[in-house]
Amino acid sequence: MLIRRAPDLKSSEITTESQYLNRREWIASMGALGAVTAFPSIAKALGASPQGQDPKPIGTPMGLQPNDTPTPWADVTGYNNFYEFGTGKEDPAENARAFKPLPWTVRVEGMVNKPADYQLEDFLKPHKVEDRIYRMRCVEAWSMVIPWRGIQLSDVLKRAEPTSSAKFVEMTTLFDPRRMPGQNSRVLDWPYVEGLRLDEAMHPLTMLATGVYGRTLPNQNGAPLRLVVPWKYGFKGVKSIVRIRLVDRQPRNTWNLSAPEEYGFYSNVNPEVDHPRWSQASERRIGEFRRRPTLMFNGYADQVASLYSGMDLRKNY
């Protein structure tokens, strides 16, 4: 392959905002010709936020490897899987722009002594908000390092007082096709549902995130409240949660319903168990070229491996 060095960018060549806005109009006008489908990322590149204005990553690094550095803000907030706002990686940032996450109600129900409907502020108020930097591994074999802000799910569950019969936690995304246009397509069985075993949900690493990079969670990242389970594939992190239900049976999660042989309930990051269509042994870190080896439980084995002792992780993928 021919590799040519691109010419260096002079500061005089940097696009001003008005030029960039004009270019966006031009790109929009090319849409009819299919130019945008042919060159989608050029449109995206023009929309990238100028260097130096991005927020600084804050938080306690947890489970990071020595060569892990936080993924840039533009990637964390511009490269998302959130099918409620479209199936392309750059669709959510575009299509979630008009979404208004507040006011927001979260229902806690099922096998708990204290079921309740909370306004988001009341839901969060009693709990300690923390900034933590976690590794994130997508089932599609790419990864990021993300500075999350949020609370521990265990605090929420303790407050609700699960009964002795509660064994699993099921979490559900908002279903409102007018606000989430992707739900007008049948690409998945809406609403999006995810679940954890109660001990996984109670694990201190499991978070409900309300922010990234010290800022309020952008819509495309699952505003106003989303799950973060750093040792599992990213799709376990259900976004825009409206319901948390304690149940005694393993919930059917959306991707498992959609393709059972490809996506399991546990979905623990595991380099030894391949996805049927690709290897999970390595990953591409967003912003890096060389593939990295994928780590067992995404590098959190010391903290979580004991949850699965004695289990066949090939069967329980």
Integer Rg of the chain from CA: 20
95 to 114: interface string for another protein, x by CB under 8 A: --------------------
Residue 291 interacting with another protein (CB under 8 A): yes
Q: Nearest approach, Cβ of 132 to another protein (angstroms)?
A: 22
Please tell me whether residue 132 binds another protein under the rule CB under 8 A: no
Greatest alpha-carbon pair distance for the chain in Å reads 67
Residue whose C-alpha is closest to residue 285's, from 8, 64, 92:
64
How many residues bind to another protein according to rule CB under 8 A? 42
Judged by CB under 8 A, the stretch of 52-60, 96-104, 285-293, 295-303 that binds another protein is 285-293
With a CB cutoff of 8 Å and minimum separation 6, the contacts of 162 are: 111, 112, 113, 198, 246
CA–CA distance, 32 with 240 (Å, rounded to integer): 33
List 188, 242, 305, 307, residue binding another protein (CB under 8 A): 188
- The stretch near another protein (CB under 8 A) out of 74-82, 106-114, 120-128, 306-314 is 74-82
| Least Cβ distance, residue 48 to another protein (angstroms) | 5
What is the per-residue binding string for another protein in 31-60, x denoting contact by CB under 8 A? Answer: -------xxxxx-xx--x------------
Q: Which of these, 84, 253, 245, lies nearest to 170 by C-alpha position?
A: 245
The whole-angstrom separation of Cα 152 and Cα 150 is: 7
Among 14, 102, 187, 311, binds another protein (CB under 8 A): 187
Tell me the torsion sign for CA atoms 39, 99, 219, 181: negative
Nearer to another protein, 81 or 154 (CB): 81
Half-sphere exposure (Cβ direction) of 130: Cα atoms closer than 13 Å: 18
Q: Residues 6 or more apart from 226 whose CB is under 8 A from it? A: 208, 209, 217, 237, 238, 239, 240, 241
Q: Which residues in this chain contact another protein in the complex, by CB under 8 A?
A: 1-6, 38-42, 44-45, 48, 74-75, 78-79, 83, 87, 89-90, 140, 142, 185, 187-188, 258-259, 274, 276-279, 281-282, 284, 286-287, 289-291
